[in-house]
Structure 1
Amino acid sequence: MSDHSGSPTTRCGYVAIVGRPNVGKSTLLNHILGQKISITSRKPQTTRNNVVGIKTEGDIQIMFVDTPGMHLGQQKAINRYMNRAANTAMKDVDVVVFVVDRFIWTEEDEAVAEKLQYASCPIILAVNKVDQVEDKESLLPHLEVLSKKLNVAEIIPLSALRNVNLDRLEQLIIDRMPEGMHMYPEDQITDRSSRFMAAEIVREKITRQLGDELPYEMAVEIEEFKQEGNLLNIGALILVEREGQKRILIGDKGERIKLIGIDARKDMEKLFDMKIMLKLWVKVKSGWSDDERALRSLGYNDL
């Protein structure tokens, strides 16, 4: 594509990835980017901030906004924050990708669909995890029902995990990107700071290690982030609400926190491409997840 002077036209736009918790939004983003930007775990509510992943290929730059899943009926400050974040993300984008899980349609999906009525941009409905559907024929009637329910530009069955149909999804997004100057250097893959990414990695390892044992009342603060030559010193403080949670997190003779540290360090060394010295410690700070001021001090304030 060229303008009259013969130089290629650059295109640049924002894409919001929306859907209820745990439908595979973060996995989808990571696979499209070919990089791990957004943390994933089997536990819903893993993503808390709108992380922007940036993909630049040739003349096209796409900024992906990974919204927190939308929640119904939970009134804690952190849930209100997450819902606000998801709604804000939908206002200023060029395309919305609404991710649903196969044939499953819940009240929360319905709530997301209602919010999407106000979207002024095209909506692409991504039906995820189709690799787990035995009878592919049965998908068609379901897709028809969904298309009647929503005013969507396109419906695409895919598997984020197995990389099925992702190139087709990307093409549908590219076709809808407006002309415009690129906003980021082509080698930048997120607008988040390195400290933020380090905290997210620690948080992911904790949720993976503890599964259902640890409630959501847990935050990670990076207290030290210092480079000395080819060594990066990172100190992370893990905040929990109660003494009992601290014991679970540290584990017998400190075994569990050690495993979390080893896993996190491996991911950080890949991400930052240098040797990492990681120190973790756990502190009890009760009530933080329901305290707007505490949330702001932990960085949940970018809206």
Structure 2
Amino acid sequence: MTSDSFDSFDPLSFSTIPTPPEGFKSGFVGIVGRPNVGKSTLMNALVGQKVAITSPTAQTTRNRLRGILSNDQAQIIFVDTPGIHKPHHELGKILVKNARMAIDAVDATLFVVDGSVAAGRGDEFVASLLAPSAVPVILGLNKIDQQPAEEAEAIDASYQAMADTHGWPLVKFSALHEQQLDTLLQTLIDRLDPGPYYYPPDLVTDQPERFIMGELIREQILLHTREEVPHSVAIAIDRVEEDATITRILATIHVERDSQKGILIGKRGSMLKTIGSEARQQIQKLVMGQVYLELFVKVVPKWRQSRSRLEDFGYRVEE
């Protein structure tokens, strides 16, 4: 397969969309909440495969990413959104605006909160955005495995009060350890209307492979660097060539300052080698074959403040 044919690959052309059985339900479910509450980890767990990157760093998700779950009862298209926060640059404004737009473009909303701490002002702010919504809202209390035993009752009560105020059902679970996800899933299905398959049932995401490749590279940068570096990074997949034995990928990591470039490259290239090696292992799982990955680092000053640069890197207000 050539690079051009790889770019134009359409997964739908290789699969068929079946006729659903009687009583089958389907719909789009937006996953919203503050940064770092476990939204991407939850979507991966529900879909049963890694389609969104995860990291201890807040604001990991930048694009509205769709994960697709199909079973005998329903097909749910989960829309993982960027964490809703106070933006400090043009990129942040776009991310938050896209997350807010997702609230009005789905059939149900799963509002995920960090159940290891009591409800705070950030949660109340997200709740105020969801309150006028015409679609069902489920309050998802994640990270119950991390609740301090002596504080668990008070933490639960703070979120139960929020749920009662708005008339939302409250479901407790742990996305990381996949605890009580069956209850959450059934709660979501119960609130969807009868509908068709939107995608072939064997598909887990509608994102192109190039996008996922870039995200897997960015994930390793999030895991291995600190301070301002992770949020100043944009990945461009410059070339993908695939033959019978190996997939060759050329990618550029864009940063805003020379100091960030130095951190990413590391002493004698050690950091870039580590990032490349671990990203390659993840991409091999995606393409189910051997991968050769070559990374370059380029400085593009203040790219997060430039609308044109943001669009070049794929960040724009979504319709």
TM-score (norm 1): 0.93
Cα distance in structure 2, aligned partners of 1:193 and 1:119 = 30
CA contact (8 A) 1:8 1:59 kept: no
The AA in structure 2 aligned to 1:131 is D
What corresponds to 2:193 in structure 1?
178
Secondary structure of the corresponding residue to residue 38 of structure 1: coil
**1:271-294 Cα deviation digits (max 9, x unpaired):** 111111111100001011011111
The AA in structure 2 aligned to 1:41 is S
Cα distance in structure 2, aligned partners of 1:46 and 1:223 = 22
Cα distance in structure 2, aligned partners of 1:142 and 1:208 = 32
CA contact (8 A) 2:65 2:207 kept: yes
Counterpart pick for 1:92 among 78, 87, 105: 105
Count, aligned residues? 296
Cα distance in structure 2, aligned partners of 1:36 and 1:177 = 24
Counterpart pick for 2:146 among 115, 121, 132: 132
What corresponds to 2:83 in structure 1?
69
Report the CA distance between 1:9 and its aligned residue: 3.6
What corresponds to 2:162 in structure 1?
146
Cα distance in structure 2, aligned partners of 1:47 and 1:29 = 12
Q: 1:120 to 1:202 in 2, by over 3 A?
A: same
**1:157-214 Cα deviation digits (max 9, x unpaired):** 1111111111100011111221111111111111110000000000000010113362
Secondary structure of the corresponding residue to residue 8 of structure 1: coil
Report the CA distance between 1:151 and its aligned residue: 3.3
Q: Which runs of 5+ in 1 are unaligned?
A: 1-5
Q: How does 1:274-285 map to 2 (within 5 A)?
A: 274-285=289-300
Cα distance in structure 1, aligned partners of 2:155 and 2:314 = 42
Cα distance in structure 1, aligned partners of 2:156 and 2:144 = 12
Report the CA distance between 1:141 and its aligned residue: 2.6
Q: 1:228 to 1:218 in 2, by over 3 A?
A: same
Q: How does 1:198-217 map to 2 (within 5 A)?
A: 198-212=213-227, 214-217=229-232
Cα distance in structure 1, aligned partners of 2:245 and 2:76 = 32
CA contact (8 A) 1:269 1:276 kept: yes
Q: Which moved more, 1:89-98 or 1:127-136?
A: 127-136
Cα distance in structure 2, aligned partners of 1:297 and 1:27 = 28
What corresponds to 1:81 in structure 2?
94
Q: Does 1:120 align with 2:134?
A: yes
Q: CA RMSD in A?
A: 1.6
The AA in structure 2 aligned to 1:272 is V
What corresponds to 1:162 in structure 2?
177
Q: Which moved more, 1:51-60 or 1:253-262?
A: 51-60
Counterpart pick for 1:60 among 60, 74, 79: 74
**1:84-139 Cα deviation digits (max 9, x unpaired):** 11011111211111111123333322221111012111111111111122144444
Q: Does 1:197 align with 2:212?
A: yes
What corresponds to 1:36 in structure 2?
50
What corresponds to 1:3 in structure 2?
none
Q: How does 1:261-272 map to 2 (within 5 A)?
A: 261-272=276-287
TM-score (norm 2): 0.89
Q: Which runs of 5+ in 2 are unaligned?
A: 1-19
